[in-house]
Chain A
C-alpha cells in the first residue's frame, strides 16, 4: 500500500526526520559567456566540494531543479539537462517551476521527500541563462509569470506590476522614493562584498534617486537585473548529514503558500498574503520566533518588494517598511540584517536559480564562511522566495 503523507507543517503527523544542507554551491552571477550546462556544472562542483567528507556524487538519489526554462532554450526535460551536466544522468529528476520561486520550491520538495523517507540524499538546483536573449524575447518571457491574459495584456510587465503596488503603498502609508532608494543603497553596499554578485560596487543614493523611471514610481535602480547563473544544494537526512559533515545547516521549517495570480484581484494591493502564510508556517514548524532569526535573505526583485517582505514577514509593522529600511535596521550590522548577500538587487536574479542561491548564502553565513559580508555570530536564518508578483511564495528557516 502506498504511504500517504500530510505535508503541511503543523497539521499532519509529526515526522521526526531532520533534514540538513550538507553542501552548497553557486556559479558567479552576472553576464556569463558559458553555456547553461557549464554554469550548472560550476555550481554543482562547488556544492560537491563543500561537503566535508565521504561524499561522492553517486550518493545523490534524486534531484529537483528550479528553472523558468531559460526563455524556452530548454523548455522540456530541463531536469535531465541539468543533472547530466553534473555527471548525474540516471537519477530521477524533474524541473520545478513557480516563476522566480522555482528553486525555493525545489528545495521544499526535496526537503519533504527526505522527511517522508522517500530518499536520503538529494540534489536541489536552479538554473537560468537570461542575458543571451533578445530584448523582445526577454520582455515576452519575463512578463508571463503574472496573470498573462488580463494583467499583462493590459500593458504591464513585472516592473509595472510592482510599480502598482509601490504607488498604492506610497498612497496608503506615505512611503517615499527615498525609502525605496534606501533598500537599493543597502543591498548594493552588501553586494560590493560578495565576490559572486553581479554588481560588486556600492551605489550612491543620489545616483539611485536620479536614475530614469522604468515604471514610475520605480526607477532603474529599484529593479533587479537580468542575470545568468546557477545554484546547487545537497540535502541529507540526519543520519547521512552526520556522516557527511560535522557542520550541517538544519532546515528547521518550510512553509509555502499561493495567492490569486493577478495583483489587481487580491484583497490588498500592498500585502503579499502568500508571504505572510508561508512565513507563519515555516516559523511555527521551526519553533523559532522571528526575534530568533539572525539574518534573512528576502525576495527583493524590486526595492518595494523588500519593503513588502519586511512587513509581511513581520520584521516591522504594516506600512513601516520604508522608514524601517531608512533607519538602517536591515543593514548587515543592523539589528535585523536583510540580504547580506546583496539580494536579488545586487547579487543578481537568475530567476530559477534564486531560491537555492538564497539558501547558499545561508549555508555560508551559518557556517561562518561568508567572508567580508559575514553577519557576526549568525546561528539562524530565514529565506523568502516569491514567484511572480506574489502568486507563490516559499519560506525556509535554517539553524545550526
Chain B
C-alpha cells in the first residue's frame, strides 16, 4: 500500500467557523510547539519499538504550519534529512490522516523489526508506527511489503487514531463539569474576548446580562487588545485541573496568566513561549486554541501569548 502526501495547499488553513461569528476563526488543532511534540512522539515510538535511527526508512509528518518540522525531526533523531517529509495531511490508503480537522500525525516507516518487537502499542508485526503528536504512539498492523492485506493496515491506523480521539476527549472522568450547551452559549467571550459593559461604565469578563458591580443591564463589548500581564503562576505537572491532564502529560508544566485587557482582567493558559519568559507587565494577545476534551468533544477557547 502507498502512503502519499498531500501538498499543504490542498487543505484549508481554516476549517471551523462558529455560527454567528463575524469573522472566520482560525483553528490550529493542536496547541504548543509542533516540533517539540513531533520529536517526542517519534522518539517514543522508536524507543518503545527498540528501533535505531538507522532502521528508519521514511518519516512523514503532517504539519499545521507546513514549515520547518522535517529538518528538526531529522536532526533530533539522527535520521538523514531526505528521509523526513512534511505535508498538510497524509493520504493513508483511502483515508486522509493528520488533516487539520483531526490533528497532525507522524508516520514512521521502519525496517522490519524482529518478531515480537512491535514499535508501539502493538497490533501486529509493526512496520509502520503512527504517532499522534498530541497523544501516545500508535503502531499500525502490516509488514514491510504491505501487500498482504492493505485494508487491515488502513483500518487499524484509522481506527487507532479515532480511538485515540475518543479516549482523549473522554479520558477526563473527574473534570469540573461545564455542560457543552453552557459552553456553546458563551462563545463570544471564549473565542472573541467579548466582555460586557453597563451604562455606568463597569466592564466585566466574562460578560453578564446584569453588571456584577452595580446590577445595571449590560451589553456585550469587545475588549481592547493587547493586554498586560498582571500576575501568573507556573503549574507543575499534576497540579492542574484534571481536565488538563491529557494535555499536560505531553506538554509538562504550563503557566496560567491573568492579564488586563482595558478595564477587565482575563485568565488564560500561556502559550507559544516558554514559561521562563513570563514577566508582569509583558504585553499579551489572545489566541484561539483547543483547551481540553470532555464528553467526547473538544473544548476550544482562548490562550494567551506574547503580543
Which A residues fall within an 8 A CB radius of B? 134-137, 139-140, 143-144, 148-157, 159-160, 163-168, 171, 212-218, 260, 262-265, 269
Contact = CB atoms under 8 A, between A and B. Distances in A.
Question: Which one of B239, B243, B301 has the greatest number of beta carbons of chain A within 10 Å?
Answer: B239
Contacts of A165: 231
Question: Which one of A140, A212, A263 has the greatest number of beta carbons of chain B within 10 Å?
Answer: A140
5 contacts: A164-B231, A215-B233, A215-B234, A216-B234, A264-B265
B256 A265 contact: no
A39 to B, nearest CB: 24
Given A155-B267, A155-B269, A156-B235, 13 more contacts: A136-B245, A139-B241, A140-B174, A149-B178, A155-B240, A155-B241, A156-B256, A157-B240, A164-B231, A167-B232, A168-B231, A214-B239, A265-B265
Contact of B236 (A164, A214, A262): A214
B242 A140 contact: yes
Interface in B57-110: none
A164 B256 contact: yes
Contacts of B232: 164, 167
B176 A143 contact: yes
B233 to A, nearest CB: 4
B236 A213 contact: yes
Interface string B195-210: 0000000001110000
B230 interface: yes
A136 B242 contact: yes
Contacts of A144: 176
Contacts of A212: 236
Nearest to B275: A216
A167 B241 contact: no
Interface string B262-296: 00011111000000000010000000000100000
Nearest to B291: A153
B122 interface: no
Question: Which one of B176, B212, B231 has the greatest number of beta carbons of chain A within 10 Å?
Answer: B231
Nearest to A164: B231
A75 B263 CA distance: 39
B184 interface: no
A123 to B, nearest CB: 33
A38 to B, nearest CB: 26
A160 B182 contact: no
A261 to B, nearest CB: 9
Contacts of A164: 231-233, 256, 258
B243 A153 contact: yes
Contact of B204 (A157, A171, A265): A265
B205 to A, nearest CB: 8
B175 interface: yes
Interface in B222-270: 230-236, 238-245, 254, 256, 258, 265-269
B173 interface: yes
B235 A160 contact: yes
A135 B240 CA distance: 11
A160 B174 contact: no
A264 B203 CA distance: 13
Contacts of A213: 234, 236
B231 A269 contact: yes
A127 to B, nearest CB: 22
A150 B182 CA distance: 12
A153 B231 contact: no
Contact of A157 (B241, B265, B266): B241
Contacts of A155: 235, 240-241, 244, 254, 256, 267-269
A218 B231 CA distance: 14
A148 B256 contact: no
> 10 nearest interchain CB pairs?
A163-B233, A140-B174, A154-B267, A168-B231, A136-B174, A216-B234, A264-B265, A215-B233, A155-B256, A167-B231
B236 A215 contact: yes
Contacts of B268: 154-155
Contact of B176 (A140, A160, A262): A140
A136 B268 CA distance: 22
B256 A160 contact: yes
A149 B182 contact: yes
A171 B281 CA distance: 10
A321 to B, nearest CB: 17
Interface in B148-192: 173-176, 178, 182
B280 A167 contact: yes
A31 B230 CA distance: 38
Contacts of A166: 233
Contacts of B178: 148-149, 153
B253 to A, nearest CB: 8
Nearest to B258: A264
B236 A150 contact: no
Question: Which one of A159, A165, A264 has the greatest number of beta carbons of chain B within 10 Å?
Answer: A264
Contacts of A154: 256, 267-269
Given A140-B175, A164-B231, A150 B206 contact: yes
B186 to A, nearest CB: 8
Contacts of B243: 153
Contacts of B241: 139-140, 143, 152-153, 155-157
Contacts of A137: 174
A168 B182 CA distance: 32
A177 B212 CA distance: 35
Given A136-B173, A260-B212, A157 B239 contact: yes
A182 to B, nearest CB: 21
A264 B206 CA distance: 11
Nearest to A260: B212
A155 B301 CA distance: 12
Nearest to B232: A167
A215 B258 contact: no
Contacts of A150: 205-206, 267
Contacts of A265: 204-205, 212, 265
A214 B267 CA distance: 19
Nearest to A134: B174
Given A144-B176, A154-B256, A160-B240, A215 B235 contact: yes
Contacts of B206: 149-150
Question: Which one of A149, A155, A215 has the greatest number of beta carbons of chain B within 10 Å?
Answer: A155
Contacts of A156: 233, 235, 240-241, 256, 267
